[in-house]
Chains A and B, each alone.
Chain A
Amino acid sequence: MIQPVTSASSFRRFRAMLFKETRQILRDPSTFLIAFLLPVMLLFLMGYGVNLDSARTRIGLSLQESSAEARSLASAYQNSPYFNVTATGSIAELEPHLVGSKIHGIIVIPQDFGREVARGGGTIQIITDGSLPNMANFIAAYGEGVRATWAQARNKDRGLHITPPIDISTRFWFNPELASRNFLVPGSIAIVMAMIGSLLTALVVAREWERGTMEALMATPIGMGEFLLTKITPYFMLGLISMTLCALLAIFVFGVPLRGSAFALLAISAIYLVPALGQGLLISATVKNQFVASQIALLTAFLPTMLLSGFIFEISSMPTILQAITYVVPARYLIPQLQTVFIAGDNWRLFLPDMAILLLFGTAFMLLCVRATQRRIA
Chain B
Amino acid sequence: MIGPRLRAIIIKEIWAILRDPRSRIILVAPPLLQLFLFGFASTMEVNNIRVGVLDLDHGRWSREIVQRIDGSPNVREIVSLRSDAELARAINDQKIIVAIRFDPHFSADIASGKGATMGAIFDGRRSNAAQIISGYIRSITNEVGASLLPKGLPQGGRAVVTHWFNPNLINLWFVMPALISILAAISTLSVVSQSVARERELGTFDQLKVSPLRTYEILIGKMIPPVMIGFVNVTLFVILVPTVFGVPLQGALLPFYMALIFYLVAISGIGMLISTVSATQQQAFLGMFAVSVPMITLSGYASPVDNMPGWLQLINLANPSAWFLNISEGIFLKGMPLAQVFSNTWPIMLIAAISCILAAALFRSRME
Chain A residues close to B by CB (< 8 Å): 29-30, 33-34, 37-38, 41-42, 45-46, 48-55, 57-58, 96, 98-101, 104, 116-117, 119-137, 140-141, 143-144, 147-148, 151-152, 155, 160, 162-176, 178-180, 182-183, 203-204, 207, 289-292, 294-295, 298-299, 303, 307-308, 312-314, 316-319, 322, 336, 339-340, 343-344, 347, 349-350
Q: Judge whether B123 and A168 touch: CB under 8 Å.
A: no
CA distance A125 to B76 in the complex (A): 34
Q: Judge whether B294 and A45 touch: CB under 8 Å.
A: yes
Pick the most buried of B61, B127, B138: most chain A CB atoms within 10 A of its CB.
Answer: B127
Q: Judge whether B161 and A167 touch: CB under 8 Å.
A: no
Which B residues touch A170, using CB under 8 A?
Answer: 120, 122, 134
Q: Judge whether A176 and B124 touch: CB under 8 Å.
A: yes
B295 to chain A, nearest CB (A): 10
CA distance A323 to B164 in the complex (A): 32
CA distance A165 to B91 in the complex (A): 28
Q: Judge whether A130 and B159 touch: CB under 8 Å.
A: no
For the complex, is B4 an interface residue (Cβ under 8 Å from A)? no
B134-153 near A? 1/0 per residue, CB < 8 Å: 11011001101100110001
**Contacts beyond the supplied A120-B156, A133-B169: 16 A-B pairs with Cβ under 8 Å:** A48-B308, A50-B303, A98-B164, A127-B163, A130-B333, A131-B166, A131-B329, A132-B304, A136-B166, A162-B156, A165-B110, A165-B115, A166-B116, A204-B282, A307-B41, A343-B125
CA distance A169 to B99 in the complex (A): 12
Of the stretches B207-215, B216-224, B264-272, B334-342, the one at the interface is B334-342
List the A residue with the shortest CB-CB distance to B115: A163
For the complex, is B93 an interface residue (Cβ under 8 Å from A)? yes
For the complex, is B173 an interface residue (Cβ under 8 Å from A)? yes
Q: Judge whether B169 and A183 touch: CB under 8 Å.
A: no
Pick the most buried of B157, B286, B336: most chain A CB atoms within 10 A of its CB.
Answer: B157
A183 in contact with B125 given A51-B307, A164-B145 (CB within 8 Å): yes
CA distance A261 to B335 in the complex (A): 53
Which B residues touch A322, using CB under 8 A?
Answer: 37, 40-41
CA distance A117 to B129 in the complex (A): 36
Contact of A49 among B26, B137, B164, B302 (CB under 8 A): B302
Q: Judge whether B161 and A126 touch: CB under 8 Å.
A: yes
Q: Judge whether B293 and A340 touch: CB under 8 Å.
A: no
CA distance A316 to B343 in the complex (A): 41
Which B residues touch A119, using CB under 8 A?
Answer: 154
For the complex, is B290 an interface residue (Cβ under 8 Å from A)? yes
For the complex, is B298 an interface residue (Cβ under 8 Å from A)? yes
Of the stretches B42-50, B237-245, B352-360, the one at the interface is B42-50
Q: Judge whether A37 and B164 touch: CB under 8 Å.
A: no
For the complex, is B289 an interface residue (Cβ under 8 Å from A)? yes
A150 to chain B, nearest CB (A): 9
29 A–B pairs (Cβ distance < 8 Å), ordered by A: A30-B283, A37-B290, A49-B302, A100-B336, A116-B157, A119-B154, A120-B156, A121-B157, A124-B157, A127-B163, A130-B166, A130-B333, A132-B304, A143-B159, A147-B158, A147-B159, A151-B156, A165-B144, A167-B117, A169-B117, A173-B122, A182-B127, A183-B127, A207-B282, A308-B37, A312-B302, A318-B40, A339-B125, A350-B94
List the B residue with the shortest CB-CB distance to A207: B282
B160-186 near A? 1/0 per residue, CB < 8 Å: 111111110111011000000000000
CA distance A123 to B297 in the complex (A): 39
Q: Which residues of B (304-336) have their CB < 8 Å from a CB of A? A: 304, 306-309, 312, 326, 329-330, 333-336
Q: Judge whether B309 and A166 touch: CB under 8 Å.
A: no
B339 to chain A, nearest CB (A): 9
CA distance A30 to B41 in the complex (A): 31
Contact of A174 among B37, B47, B124, B155 (CB under 8 A): B124
List the B residue with the shortest CB-CB distance to A350: B93
For the complex, is B72 an interface residue (Cβ under 8 Å from A)? no
Q: Judge whether B156 and A173 touch: CB under 8 Å.
A: no
List the B residue with the shortest CB-CB distance to A310: B126
The 8 closest A-B pairs by CB, nearest first: A120-B154, A130-B166, A175-B124, A122-B157, A130-B163, A172-B124, A316-B48, A51-B307
B241 to chain A, nearest CB (A): 14
CA distance A58 to B307 in the complex (A): 10
CA distance A204 to B61 in the complex (A): 64
List the B residue with the shortest CB-CB distance to A140: B161
CA distance A323 to B44 in the complex (A): 15
List the A residue with the shortest CB-CB distance to B169: A133
Q: Judge whether B42 and A123 touch: CB under 8 Å.
A: no
A130 in contact with B164 given A53-B307, A99-B336, A173-B122 (CB within 8 Å): yes
A134 in contact with B115 given A124-B160, A173-B124 (CB within 8 Å): no
For the complex, is B114 an interface residue (Cβ under 8 Å from A)? yes
CA distance A290 to B165 in the complex (A): 44
A182 to chain B, nearest CB (A): 7
Q: Judge whether B156 and A155 touch: CB under 8 Å.
A: yes
B103 to chain A, nearest CB (A): 10
A166 in contact with B281 given A141-B135, A350-B92 (CB within 8 Å): no
Q: Judge whether A147 and B294 touch: CB under 8 Å.
A: no
For the complex, is B204 an interface residue (Cβ under 8 Å from A)? no
B9 to chain A, nearest CB (A): 22
Q: Judge whether A169 and B333 touch: CB under 8 Å.
A: no
A123 in contact with B337 given A173-B91, A291-B194 (CB within 8 Å): no
List the B residue with the shortest CB-CB distance to A139: B161
A52 in contact with B281 given A58-B306, A308-B41 (CB within 8 Å): no
Q: Judge whether B125 and A347 touch: CB under 8 Å.
A: no
Which B residues touch A163, using CB under 8 A?
Answer: 114-115
CA distance A338 to B334 in the complex (A): 40
Which A residues touch B256, using CB under 8 A?
Answer: none
Q: Judge whether A45 and B293 touch: CB under 8 Å.
A: yes
Which B residues touch A350, using CB under 8 A?
Answer: 92-94
Q: Judge whether A314 and B115 touch: CB under 8 Å.
A: no
CA distance A280 to B184 in the complex (A): 27
